[in-house]
Amino acid sequence: MTVAQIAANTTVLAGAAVLAYLGFQFFQKKKKEIIPWNWEEVGSLSHLYIYPLKSGHRMEVTRAECTEVGLKQTEEDEKVLQLRDRGLVVYAERNNEFRTARTYPQLMQIDISVHDEKHLAIDAPTMRTLYVKIPNNTDNKEIKIKLHKGEECYSIDCGDEAALWFSRYILEKDTGLRLGYHDGSQRRDITKTHNKYLEFYKNLTNSSIGLYSDLTSLLLVNQTSVNDLKQRISNTTISANNFRPNLVVDGLDLKPYTEDNWEWIKIGDVVLRNVKDCTRCTMTTIDPDTSIRDKNREPLATLEKYRMSNGPDALPVMGINLEVRKTGIIKVGDKVLVSKK
Ligand SMILES: *[C@@H]1O[C@H](CO)[C@@H](O)[C@H](O)[C@H]1NC(C)=O
Ligand SMILES: *[C@@H]1O[C@H](CO)[C@@H](O)[C@H](O)[C@H]1NC(C)=O
Ligand SMILES: *[C@@H]1O[C@H](CO)[C@@H](O)[C@H](O)[C@H]1NC(C)=O
Ligand SMILES: *[C@@H]1O[C@H](CO)[C@@H](O)[C@H](O)[C@H]1NC(C)=O
Ligand SMILES: *[C@@H]1O[C@H](CO)[C@@H](O)[C@H](O)[C@H]1NC(C)=O
């Protein structure tokens, strides 16, 4: 072979490698983008909830924008700033670790609203209203808040006045807790911390993840499955709200827990992908309106008897965690369509 021939062969090989790589990339992308066409109507959207503060009180809405990182108020509701699901989180000053209602059930009593173009209003029983300047990363300190499994999450600190208010309300002290804000400008990266999950849940990726949600951008609960659980406990004070869903779907009664088999869900223009069963912890045993823990660990204790996940958590399941594949507006009363693919 002459030098020219070798050069030519190398070019061909390199070209082939590039093509193969691009083809692979295309295939990968393509695989992700095939949205099914065979939809089946299973019910309708009965409730929509946004939790502006992680572990905080729910905000019920009749419509919401479904973004890649979860639900957001629409501009009709709030002209100045639209609150996002789990866009705020309480964290410990000492080590920047997030805090939830698992340790501080009083968090569930906190309501967040938009006060004016510059301030959020934060309310809790026995506390005066706190007005927090809507933080931004020029005026406020950028920090990394540690979430589950030590995952570090981009955040903006809300300042000393908010820190004082939260420390007083939760700890009855002047320091200890601070408030973090996520402006949605960065996505989370779970590839270093959640390997066990990524290996087991094949459809779960970085793009499934919400702002400060435990993992995915959305949680859907089927009312029929909750009704079945309530019957088993014979306690009527337990409701879908114990499970802190974003979407509650109600439909005709067939047999419980069919949502486990839904691979794809379509509500209006929005297309969602089932990426994970939602494993449940002791937070479900705290009454979401009074913050009182159930003495008998219900509804978790009953759920443990018949609905354990076979995934890495070995915890009981209620609801499905969804990735947003096509964004848009969703409304209470919208038809819910599913595809098993
Ligand atoms: C940050 O907030 C301050 C005070 O509200 C405001 O003056 C400033 O314009 C904001 N910066 C950005 C980049 O939004
Ligand atoms: C998401 O995951 C990939 C690895 O699959 C990684 O390279 C990337 O940096 C991650 N982070 C974000 C924010 O997308
Ligand atoms: C995830 O993806 C695989 C194929 O890659 C599929 O077989 C599986 O059913 C999907 N769904 C869920 C919820 O894991
Ligand atoms: C909820 O569960 C019931 C009972 O399994 C089922 O009939 C219904 O299709 C499910 N889905 C919706 C959207 O309600
Ligand atoms: C029902 O649940 C509520 C709240 O979890 C609890 O306070 C109450 O004691 C329970 N009642 C019965 C009869 O188990």
Write the pLDDT tens digit of every residue in 40-49.
888 899 999 9
What's the chain's Rg over C-alpha atoms?
Answer: 23
* Residue that is written with structure tokens 């973090």 in the block: 180
Atom of ligand 3 nearest to the CA of 277: 13
Residue 181 has pLDDT above 90, yes or no: yes
Dihedral, CA of residue 243, residue 269, residue 259 and residue 231, to nearest 10? 50
Model confidence, pTM: 0.87
Which residue's C-alpha comes closest to atom 7 of ligand 1? Answer: 139
Atom of ligand 2 nearest to the CA of 186: 13
* Per-residue pLDDT, 8: 53
Task: Note the pLDDT tens digit of each residue in 271-314.
Answer: 999 999 999 999 999 999 999 999 999 999 999 999 999 999 99
Residue 264: burial class (beta carbons within 10 Å; 0-12, 13-18, 19+): buried
Dihedral, CA of residue 325, residue 73, residue 225 and residue 200, to nearest 10? 40
Mean pLDDT over 1-18 rounds to 52
Mean pLDDT over 74-81 rounds to 88
Residue 128 has pLDDT above 70, yes or no: yes
25 CA from centroid of ligand 2 (Å): 15
- For residue 233, which ligand has an atom nearest its CA? 5
Residue 13 has pLDDT above 60, yes or no: no
Pair of tokens at residue 53: 């503060």
Mean pLDDT over 228-246 rounds to 91
* Per-residue pLDDT, 26: 46
* Per-residue pLDDT, 268: 93
Which residue's C-alpha comes closest to atom 2 of ligand 4? Answer: 224
Mean of pLDDT over the chain: 90
pLDDT band at 37 (very low <50, low <70, confident <90, very high): confident
Pair of tokens at residue 14: 């390199």
Residue 7 has pLDDT above 90, yes or no: no
- Give all domains of the chain, ordered by start, each with its CATH number: 39-339 (2.40.33.20)
Mutate which of 202, 220, 309 for ligand 3 pocket (most atoms within 8 A of beta carbon) = 202
* Per-residue pLDDT, 341: 60
* Per-residue pLDDT, 144: 98
- For residue 181, which ligand has an atom nearest its CA? 1
- For residue 192, which ligand has an atom nearest its CA? 2
